[in-house]
């Protein structure tokens, strides 16, 4: 038999985040814990489907008038309108003035990709500044879409907080018109967000230099438990009348990970521009995947348009956020109780799904080897994967890693 025509293909490395789960699945230890992947787990360590999502799905199934026709290229119209209201606020002037175009995309990742391709085709500046560090998929998404990726300083390892001056200096040095990727809240992987005051300074600087904001909103409501509070950064930039892009994901805040439901909005100066922009977004989407799937967007629209279901969602969302916040406290208390050297207050100061522990590559591999705890090599742990039962084991592992490795 002749060799395969693909024999020369070189094996690609595992995705650094999803690869953690691959390694975890291979471990037969009963005490193993997976803190790698960014998905919510209950106190019992199980994935969660929200009650309100189950109820919406039941309603959709029972409605025999529903059919499975293709959606339009831009997706479900109700879903798009409701998603824009959710992120920009119900009384947003930009929405009232019809200068926002929103298209349904394949979760947060797909929304970022469609936005990036649109910018590569129609925006004059092809450089996008992304925070250092950032979600590992960002540089790949933007590079493949045809943008040129540069970094701005974001995290200061010394304080385990924001390198605000570094951020301002790097954005000041960016060429006018450059695109800037901003995490709307719950920065991944650091859990470090600017304060409102700092956001205001970033906004002023960016507007004065004509830098174009591209918000990635993967955690609205999941960070603080409050949907409005978590959208404040975005709303500040929209309130000044300027233009911006926003990618929304319903993976975390509605637990719709595998349904791949999200939206890309582009806020424009006027409605005429917005409608031309939308016509070109269709040109990006049609040859890419033609049109988005119907089920997840129908679930979201069902929940967002019904007052009672919306309220029920906010209660369930807050419960997820609160459980994560309580895990932070429990882990911090456990570190204090063990007298682990160092300042661990960043565990309770950081926000959202992840804690950027400050543990180094060696300490991480020590914890995996000796304690069967799995996390990304940058020391990021998913607080959503922790429970009261696993906190003591993690604290033991962290204590040992800090005191027994160099
Ligand atoms: C910062 C950030 N952006 C975007 C996403 C995209 O997620 P999805 O495509 O599942 O909505 C994630 C998921 O982990 C994320 O952390």
Q: Are 35 and 373 in contact (CB under 8 A)?
A: yes
Whether the CB of 253 sits within 6 Å of ligand 1:
no
* 34 closest CA partner among 396, 381, 392: 381
Q: What does the alpha-carbon distance between residue 171 and residue 162 come to, in Å, rounded to a whole number?
A: 14
Whether the CB of 249 sits within 6 Å of ligand 1:
yes
What is the distance in A from the centroid of ligand 1 to the CA of 298? 20
In this predicted structure, the answer to whether residue 93 has a pLDDT above a threshold of 70 is yes
H or E segment and range at residue 53? helix 51-62
Provide the pLDDT for residue 71: 97
Provide the pLDDT for residue 235: 98
Q: What percent of the chain has pLDDT over 90?
A: 94
CATH of region 18-48+322-404, choose from 3.90.870.10, 3.30.465.10, 3.90.1150.10, 3.10.20.30: 3.90.1150.10
Q: Is 309 left (phi over 0), alpha (psi -120 to 50) or beta?
A: alpha
Of the pLDDT bands very low, low, confident and very high (cuts 50, 70, 90), residue 76 is: very high
Token pair 């009261």: residue? 388
What is the distance in A from the centroid of ligand 1 to the CA of 64? 33
Both tokens assigned to 46: 């199980």
Q: What does the alpha-carbon distance between residue 309 and residue 303 come to, in Å, rounded to a whole number?
A: 5
What is the distance in A from the centroid of ligand 1 to the CA of 188? 9
For ligand 1, atom 12: residue with the closest CA? 218
For ligand 1, atom 14: residue with the closest CA? 38
Q: Are 254 and 262 in contact (CB under 8 A)?
A: no
Q: Please report, for residues 50, 91, 333, the alpha-carbon distance to residue 327 in angstroms, rounded to integers and kept in the order given.
A: 20, 35, 10
In this predicted structure, the answer to whether residue 406 has a pLDDT above a threshold of 70 is no
Say if residue 287 is exposed, middle or buried (CB neighbours under 10 Å; 0-12, 13-18, 19+).
Answer: exposed
What CATH architecture applies to the domain 70-305?
3-Layer(aba) Sandwich (3.40)
Cis preceding-peptide flag for 389 (omega within 30 of 0): no
Q: What does the alpha-carbon distance between residue 393 and residue 373 come to, in Å, rounded to a whole number?
A: 9
In this predicted structure, the answer to whether residue 68 has a pLDDT above a threshold of 70 is yes
Tell me the three state secondary structure of residue 332: helix
Q: Are 105 and 297 in contact (CB under 8 A)?
A: no
Q: What does the alpha-carbon distance between residue 107 and residue 349 come to, in Å, rounded to a whole number?
A: 28
Whether the CB of 259 sits within 6 Å of ligand 1:
no
Of the pLDDT bands very low, low, confident and very high (cuts 50, 70, 90), residue 13 is: confident
**Beta carbons within 8 Å of 318's beta carbon, 6+ residues apart:** 221, 225, 226
Provide the pLDDT for residue 189: 93
Active site residue 193: no
In this predicted structure, the answer to whether residue 14 has a pLDDT above a threshold of 90 is no
**Beta carbons within 8 Å of 127's beta carbon, 6+ residues apart:** 147, 148, 149, 150, 174, 175, 178, 179
Ligand 1: residue of 20, 155, 188, 215 to mutate (most ligand atoms within 8 A of CB) is 188
Active site residue 252: yes
Domain extents in the chain: 18-48+322-404, 70-305
Range with the lowest mean pLDDT among 23-27, 105-109, 214-218, 310-314? 23-27
What is the distance in A from the centroid of ligand 1 to the CA of 220? 11
Q: Are 209 and 172 in contact (CB under 8 A)?
A: yes
For ligand 1, atom 3: residue with the closest CA? 218
User: Are 18-48+322-404 and 70-305 in the same CATH fold?
Assistant: no
Token pair 């008038």: residue? 65
In this predicted structure, the answer to whether residue 53 has a pLDDT above a threshold of 80 is yes
In this predicted structure, the answer to whether residue 50 has a pLDDT above a threshold of 90 is yes
In degrees and rounded to multiples of 5, residue 179 shows phi and psi of: -85, 140
Q: Are 76 and 294 in contact (CB under 8 A)?
A: yes
Q: What does the alpha-carbon distance between residue 45 and residue 266 come to, in Å, rounded to a whole number?
A: 38
- pLDDT tens string 260-315: 999 999 999 999 999 999 999 999 999 999 999 999 999 999 999 999 999 999 99
Active site residue 343: no
Strand runs labelled E in 154-211: 155-156, 161-162, 179-183
- pLDDT tens string 110-161: 999 999 999 999 999 999 999 999 999 999 999 999 999 999 999 999 999 9
Strand runs labelled E in 78-178: 100-105, 127-132, 148-153, 155-156, 161-162
């Amino acid at each position: 038999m002749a060799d395969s025509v693909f024999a020369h293909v070189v094996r690609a490395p595992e995705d650094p985040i999803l690869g953690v789960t691959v390694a975890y699945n291979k471990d037969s230890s009963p005490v193993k814990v997976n803190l790698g992947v960014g998905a919510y787990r209950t106190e019992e360590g199980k994935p969660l489907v929200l009650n309100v999502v189950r109820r919406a799905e039941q309603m959709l199934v029972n409605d025999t008038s529903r059919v499975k026709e293709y959606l339009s290229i831009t997706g479900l119209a109700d879903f798009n309108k409701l998603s824009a209201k959710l992120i920009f606020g119900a009384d947003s002037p930009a929405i009232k003035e019809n200068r926002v175009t929103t298209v349904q995309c394949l979760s947060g990742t797909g929304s970022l990709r469609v936005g990036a391709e649109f910018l590569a085709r129609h925006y004059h500046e092809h450089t996008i500044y992304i925070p250092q560090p950032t979600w590992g998929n960002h540089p790949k998404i933007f590079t493949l879409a045809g943008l040129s990726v540069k970094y701005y300083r974001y995290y200061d390892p010394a304080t385990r907080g924001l390198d605000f001056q570094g951020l301002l200096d790097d954005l000041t040095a960016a060429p006018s018109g450059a695109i800037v990727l901003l995490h709307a809240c719950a920065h991944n992987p650091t859990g470090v967000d600017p304060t409102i005051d700092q956001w205001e300074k970033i906004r002023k600087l960016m507007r004065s230099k004509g830098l174009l904001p591209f918000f990635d909103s993967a955690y609205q409501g999941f960070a603080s438990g409050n949907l409005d509070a978590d959208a404040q950064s975005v709303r500040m930039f929209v309130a000044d009348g300027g233009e911006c892009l926003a990618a929304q994901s319903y993976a975390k805040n509605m637990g719709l990970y595998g349904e791949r439901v999200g939206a890309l909005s582009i806020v424009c100066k006027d409605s005429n521009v917005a409608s031309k922009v939308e016509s070109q977004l269709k040109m990006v989407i049609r040859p890419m995947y033609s049109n988005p799937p119907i089920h997840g967007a129908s679930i979201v629209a069902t929940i967002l348009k019904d007052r009672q279901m919306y309220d029920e969602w906010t209660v369930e969302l807050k419960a997820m956020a609160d459980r994560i916040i309580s895990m932070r406290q429990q882990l911090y208390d456990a570190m204090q109780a063990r007298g682990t050297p160092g300042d661990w207050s960043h565990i309770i100061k950081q926000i959202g799904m992840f804690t950027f522990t400050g543990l180094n590559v060696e300490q991480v591999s020590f914890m995996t080897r000796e304690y069967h705890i799995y996390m990304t090599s940058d020391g990021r742990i998913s607080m959503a994967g922790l429970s009261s039962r696993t906190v003591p084991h993690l604290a033991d592992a962290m204590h040992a890693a800090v005191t027994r490795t160099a």
